[in-house]
Amino acid sequence: MSTHETDVVIVGAGPVGLFAVFELGLLGLKTHLVDILDRPGGQCAELYPEKPIYDIPGIPICTGQELTDRLMEQIKPFDPVFHLQEMAEKLEKLPDERWRLTTDQGVVIDARVVVIAAGGGSFVPKKPHLDGLETYEDTSVFYAVRKIDAFRGKRVVIAGGGDSALDWALNLQPVAERVTLVHHRDGFRAAPASVQRMRQLVDAGEMDFKIAQLAGLEGADGKLQSVKTKSKEEGEGAVPADALLPFFGLTMKLGPIAEFGLNFEENLIPVDTEKFETSTPSIFAIGDINIYPGKLKLILSGFHEGALMAQAAFAYCRPGERLRFQYTTSSSELQKKLGVR
């Protein structure tokens, strides 16, 4: 178990959580971010990476991924620490007024201020409907790859036809004993280059592709022996397997933040519009997760909320210190923090 100490811990590395790092950084506050996804960007990166956004001030057009990349570039000087593929699971108050956030991976982050930037909730995998699935989860069935080496020398079945399924089939193929991609049709949503590479490997006999649906799991005590399949053409079949990785997309659920002891109004967190603080002092909520009169679920609204939240967070993190209002254009102090002076 590793323990970190920081000024502010941010739950959610979507566009609003990322820009909060910038606003907090300008005030000299250090940040850690936790996100269940394997990369930053939230909805922009996960739901519409290639779609154009037209209403970011000063950027007439950029895609969801481009916005994420630009935000990552902008916050670089502040060196935020990312805890990706981790669910923020538990929040408790410490005797010294700080908060302790624990992730599902056992990482502990102690911070004076908590910022909930959890959007529509945490992204969770869509699961296949297979009898006994839960008895194999985390031992033989996985919805994400945390360590490639865990699959070394194993017979791996990957199910799905999107980028995650294809990317992991290609990445695990060199280390696994055998990779079998199972998809219900001979057409894919993944990048054409990945599909082409997969077909080359199949033609060369270095991996397998089966057009079928998942039908069941065979094994004992959480240890998988084979994945049962069915298809119109071939009927029922079975692929010998030590591990199954279903990549059927993600859905958003409020998740563990519902247990953080905060007030909720229909799965949203009410905040004031001066500081975007929740009814619990030193816990703030910004972006799509909050609610207040007139709220618009837009990225630019979340950016504004982050700027005001940072001012209030400073008062908790640096009690007694005066905060001077400064412009980045003219303040040499801010320019030093940004590394441009």
Residues in touch with ligand FAD (CB under 6 A)? 11-17, 34-37, 42-44, 47-48, 53, 55, 87-88, 117-123, 255-257, 287-288, 297-300, 302
Closer Cβ to ligand FAD, 237 or 270, answer by number: 270
Instruction: Measure the CA–CA gap between 272 and 238, rounded to whole angstroms.
Output: 57
Least distance to ligand FAD from the beta carbon of 126, Å? 14
Least distance to ligand FAD from the beta carbon of 186, Å? 28
What contacts 244, CB < 8 A, 6 or more positions away? 136, 140, 141, 142, 156, 157, 158, 159, 214, 217, 224, 227
Task: Please give the residue whose beta carbon sits closest to ligand FAD in the complex.
Answer: 119
Least distance to ligand FAD from the beta carbon of 251, Å? 11
What contacts 294, CB < 8 A, 6 or more positions away? none
Quick count: other Cβ atoms within 10 Å of Cβ 329?
7
Per DSSP, what are the bridge partners of residue 12? none
Instruction: Measure the CA–CA gap between 46 and 83, rounded to whole angstroms.
Output: 17
Contact 137, 246 (CB under 8 A): no
Closer Cβ to ligand FAD, 181 or 285, answer by number: 285
Least distance to ligand FAD from the beta carbon of 209, Å? 30
Least distance to ligand FAD from the beta carbon of 71, Å? 10
Least distance to ligand FAD from the beta carbon of 242, Å? 29
Closer Cβ to ligand FAD, 31 or 43, answer by number: 43
Closer Cβ to ligand FAD, 228 or 304, answer by number: 304
For residue 301, give the 3-state DSSP assignment.
helix
**For residue 23, which of 88, 86, 98, 80 has the smallest C-alpha distance?**
80
Closer Cβ to ligand FAD, 55 or 137, answer by number: 55
Token pair in block for residue 110: 């102690």
Closer Cβ to ligand FAD, 15 or 160, answer by number: 15
Per DSSP, what are the bridge partners of residue 252? 123
